[in-house]
Amino acid sequence: MSDDLYEVIYFDQHLILKKSLYEQVPHSGLNVAFSSKEGVILRPHIYFRPINMTDTFNEYKFSELIFECYEGMANVVSQLVEENDEEVHVITRYFMRHDDENGRLLGDKFIYKTEYYTFEYQIENSLVPIKSACTPLNPLGLSCEGTLECWVAEITLDKYFSLLR
């Protein structure tokens, strides 16, 4: 394989979920799942929340940009679940390809410049329904206690493909 380097963005998320609000439920796949008190099956994810929306550049335009340029996906690299009597701690590392020169990460903000507008996003923790988990959406508007760190790294093509598995 090639020794070329590719840029990715890593997201290290540490969520703290109260057992009084969420119950861990069985789910196939790499991701842990929780049931809310309302019975909605959720999973941890990240959300690119639009910062500078206007009437013309509305939430739909912001979501569309992330879908078109980044496929709306942040893949899970690893996930660890720890719990005590009152809380569940979910520690997840995600990654997303970062090969578009118009996009730039600044701490926990993501900026994407086009010829007609500069889109600004705040990257946040989220809990989303299992079937609608993608970075530009947070359909339930749930906020989560915890931390999120974001950074750009260069990795080899071999490493990139291993992360996709």
Digit-coded pLDDT (tens) for 9-24: 999 999 999 999 999 9
Query: Could you tell me the end-to-end alpha-carbon distance of the chain, in angstroms, rounded to an integer?
Result: 17
The amino acid sitting at 165 is R
How far apart CA 162 and CA 22 sit, in angstroms, is: 32
Domain that holds residue 97: 5-164
- Domain count across the chain: 1
CA 127 to chain centre: 10
Q: Looking up tokens 């490493």, which residue turns up?
A: 159
Reported pTM: 0.88
- pLDDT score for 136: 64
